[in-house]
């Protein structure tokens, strides 16, 4: 038997029917994911590259990553009670930076000082916390140590997140203790 002559709609169906394998291959090829971003070998502490795992080296990287996160927040305005990029107070800065690495810390500087693993000042490492008593008998200020006796903090109203030195007379006089949270397991 002979097939009836194709009508226009049948011709479209025939074309689509023959084209499905080609279209399917073309669509699937377009869904292939882009190659993974290469990590810059010069920046092993990029917090975006940290996967939350690893032994001692990864813990050290967390401290480095924490210091780098804090440095990246310089210039953000002070906001009492703030813990977002819209504004930080001192403990909110610490809370936010740790959160970026999946680490949980208390919200206030006093609680952070009480619950942190104690670190001797001569053993400070990048990412450690430095605590101060400013006009108080209790800890009421905190910063993130970045090395070379410097720390990042949100100093107070009207002043953005900045870097200061533990050797500055004011901070040296009011220094209370140091602590660490970055060795804990992320949650």
- From residue 107, alpha-carbon distances to 25, 89, 103, 145 in Å are 53, 10, 12, 18
Catalytic residue status for 98: no
Interstrand relation of 162-165 and 87-88 (parallel, antiparallel or unpaired): unpaired
What are the residues whose beta carbons fall under 8 Å from the beta carbon of 142, sequence distance 6 or more?
90, 91, 94, 109, 112, 113, 129, 130, 131, 132, 153
Catalytic residue status for 90: yes
**CA nearest to 144, candidates 185, 104, 186, 92:** 92
Q: CB-based burial of residue 21 (10 Å sphere; 0-12 exposed, 13-18 middle, 19+ buried)?
A: exposed
Helix axes 90-99, 56-72, angle to 10 degrees: 130
The residues annotated with a catalytic role in the active site are 90, 141, 153
């Amino acid at each position: 038997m002979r097939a009836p002559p194709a009508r226009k709609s049948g011709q479209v169906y025939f074309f689509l029917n023959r084209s499905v394998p080609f279209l399917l291959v073309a669509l699937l090829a377009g869904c292939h994911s882009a190659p993974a971003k290469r990590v810059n070998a010069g920046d092993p502490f990029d917090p975006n590259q940290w996967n939350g795992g690893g032994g001692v080296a990864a813990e050290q990287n967390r401290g480095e990553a924490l210091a780098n996160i804090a440095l990246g927040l310089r210039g953000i305005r002070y906001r009492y009670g703030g813990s977002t990029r819209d504004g930080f107070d001192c403990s909110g800065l610490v809370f936010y930076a740790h959160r970026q690495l999946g680490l949980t810390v208390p919200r206030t500087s006093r609680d952070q000082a009480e619950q942190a693993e104690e670190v001797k000042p001569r053993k400070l490492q990048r990412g450690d916390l430095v605590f101060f008593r400013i006009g108080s008998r209790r800890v009421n200020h905190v910063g993130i140590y970045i090395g070379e006796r410097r720390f990042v903090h949100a100093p107070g109203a009207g002043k953005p997140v900045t870097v200061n030195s533990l050797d500055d007379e004011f901070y040296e006089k009011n220094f209370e203790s140091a602590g660490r949270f970055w060795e804990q397991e992320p949650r």
